[in-house]
Amino acid sequence: MNLTDLGWNKYFEESFKSFADKDYIVGKIFIEQRHLYGIYTELGEYQGEISGKMRYEAEKTGDFPVVGDFVVLTPIHNEKKAIIHAVLPRKSKFSRKAAGVQTNEQVLASNFDTVFIVTSLNGDLSLRRLERYLTMAYESNANPVIVLSKADLCTDIEGKLCQVEAVAIGTPIHVISTVDGRGIDDIKKYLKNGMTAVVLGSSGVGKSTLINYIAGEELLLTGSIREYDDTGRHTTTHRQLVKLPTGGFIIDTPGLREFQLWDGSEGIQETFKDIQEIAKGCKFRDCRHDKEIGCAVKAAIEEGILDAKRLESYNKLQRELRYLEGKQNQLIRMNGKKRVKDLCKAIKNISKKR
């Protein structure tokens, strides 16, 4: 397996120049489990661990390797192990706020070309959740594609397709079924040699089943449909990069139970570009689309041009993003104060020694 097959290009080659004069090689993370990493290299597969220096210098969890990352490493050939020294800058990444009360970024995957947002047509379809996924997909710096799965279980495909088209303006949408094979060839076009996609969606929408179908073998565990709520069982427990017969790669991810924004200012604008366009007609530039006089957005709702629930979703994501930005700024200030305090302490210690 050569680096070009793994998606290596001039962007990464330029980033690696500062390491090229040392005894380092490049690899790509294909699986991450309990701080151990499976790595593809031109010399074969290695099991990697982070170096002590890298662990010490990492300022946040997002600095550690994730599936899809190109990493700089030193191989231990006779043991098929490697020490990871650095992560090359990511051309794309998918992040969320880590679960819990602390304000930390959790990077889920990186260096992909396409984001497959998978939602099933039987009972899982939620337009509001789809808007949230789209916001983060656009923010990732990759191209979002909506995949409507389990078409064989849906009796009103056209109706649901119209609903999705209304909130996913300009985004490619594909209706698929792994039972009768419809739409699968369209998905394969995004997975040619050197191309990588990441699959996102809630538990049980058929992500692993789709990957197995394209791969032509049972690479990933899948769950059956639960009769009482028309959903599938959660099966994927970790992220992994899967090589496909088409020549490309796909990153499977666990179903996201808690999905909070980490960043999304550009993604919100792209996802809700219909509201952004209508808002240009508002009387006031800082219109909140609430009770202001001359609000074009509220007028569009009254005229039936815009769904009121879509505006509610837009406002909710905006509030969430503003709150998160406030927490992030607070964290930056606290870290800055800590660095100053540590520096002053170090200076005092040096003075005492003199």
Mean pLDDT in residue range 111-132: 89
| Strand 44-50 relative to strand 81-87, pairing | parallel
Q: Is the model's pLDDT at 127 over the cut of 80?
A: yes
Residue 237 has pLDDT above 80, yes or no: no
pLDDT in tens, 295-335: 999 999 999 999 999 999 998 888 887 766 665 555 445 55
Q: What is the pLDDT of residue 85?
A: 96
Binding residues for GTP: 149-152, 201-209
Query: Mapped to the 3 state alphabet, what secondary structure does 33-81 carry?
Result: ECCEEEEEECCEEEEEEECHHHHHHCCCHHHCCCCCCEEEEEEEHHHCE
Residue 263 pLDDT exceeds 80? no
* pTM as predicted: 0.80
Report the C-alpha gap between 146 and 200 in whole angstroms.
10
49-58 pLDDT, tens digit per residue, is: 999 999 888 8
Q: Residue 224 pLDDT more than 50? A: no
Percent of the chain with pLDDT over 90: 53
Which residues are part of a known binding site for Zn(2+)? 282, 287, 289, 295
Res 65: pLDDT: 94
Averaged pLDDT, 167-182: 94
- How big is the chain by its Cα radius of gyration, in Å? 23
Residue-level pLDDT at 34: 77
Alpha-carbon distance of 139 to 249, in angstroms, equals 21
pLDDT band (50, 70, 90) for residue 279: very high
Lowest mean pLDDT among 61-65, 70-74, 142-146: 61-65
Residue list, annotated binding site? 149-152, 201-209, 282, 287, 289, 295
- Residues 251 and 198: beta-carbon distance below 8 Å: yes
Given a cut of 80, is residue 173 above it in pLDDT?
yes
Q: Which residue has the higher pLDDT, 277 or 23?
A: 277
Domains and CATH numbers, the chain: 10-87 (2.40.50.140), 93-252 (3.40.50.300), 272-354 (1.10.40.50)
Q: For position 266, what pLDDT does the model report?
A: 76
Q: How large is the average pLDDT for residues 32-54? A: 92
What are the pLDDT digits (tens) for 77-115?
Answer: 889 999 999 999 999 998 776 555 455 677 889 999 999
Give me the chain's average pLDDT, please: 83
CA 284 and chain centroid, separation: 35
